[in-house]
Amino acid sequence: MSTPHTPSSSSPRPRAWEKLDTRHSAHMILFRPRWDRLRHPRSGEEFERLVLETPDWVNVVALTTDKKLVCVHQYRFGTSSVTLEIPGGVLDKGEHHAEAAKRELQEETGYTSARWTYLGAVEPNPAFHDNLCHHWLAEDCKLTHAQGLDPGEDIEIEAVDLADVHLRIARGEMRHSLVISALSRVLDLRPR
């Protein structure tokens, strides 16, 4: 066993790494891969690291007038499974995330709202994504439209009792990290 050192010691906060080179690979629809050559600020050693350049995302905690959470079931290609999530998606080019939140809620579910509150943003994965996911709260949501799905989408809606959300998370039925992150700003998600 080696000697313990003191945390938050004399060593300064990690510094930025010098970028020596950068090159793009073929676009991958959801993101554009970029390879950066970087210099470690302490050792001077060079490393190659992958960045997936990714547009910002948005998702919506949508509550109906009778306090239900508007959820979507859809087949997800990464996990090859039908998931239970809250509505969300990718910002269109030039679109503000507030507009994207309204658009995604309406397109995926047909619900609309006049009461919107920004819940802040998270980094989906700062290790290799350069984007943010913005969380929005929509209250007093009403079903006013038909779904407006893309040809590549197949989404079914479920309005989940707010009291059952914990249960759906505990059972592992709802387990998209960005969904949990958004819900944690509105609900106490600690297991009971």
**Interface positions, 62-91, toward a copy of itself (CB under 8 A):** 70, 73-83
For Cα atoms 101, 64, 175, give the angle at the middle one, nearest 5 degrees: 65
User: Is residue 15 a contact residue for a copy of itself (CB under 8 A)?
Assistant: yes
**Residue closer to a copy of itself, measured from CB, 94 or 151:** 151
Q: Is 146 in the site for a copy of itself (CB under 8 A)?
A: yes
Q: Which of 21, 67, 145, 173 binds a copy of itself (CB under 8 A)?
A: 145
Contact 147, 107 (CB under 8 A): yes
Contact 68, 76 (CB under 8 A): no
Task: Spell out a b/e string for 115-140, using b for 16 or more CB atoms within 10 Å of the CB, else e.
Answer: eeeebebbebeeeebbbbbbbbbbbe
Question: According to CB under 8 A, which residues from 24 to 63 bind a copy of itself?
Answer: 28-30, 33, 36, 38, 40-43, 45, 47, 49-52
120 binds a copy of itself (CB under 8 A): yes
Which one of 63, 101, 109, 165 is in contact with a copy of itself (CB under 8 A)?
Answer: 109
**Residue with token string 């507030």:** 98
Q: Provide φ and ψ at 161, rounded to 5°.
A: -55, 130
Residue 8 C-beta: closest distance to a copy of itself, Å: 5
**Total number of residues binding a copy of itself (CB under 8 A)?**
86
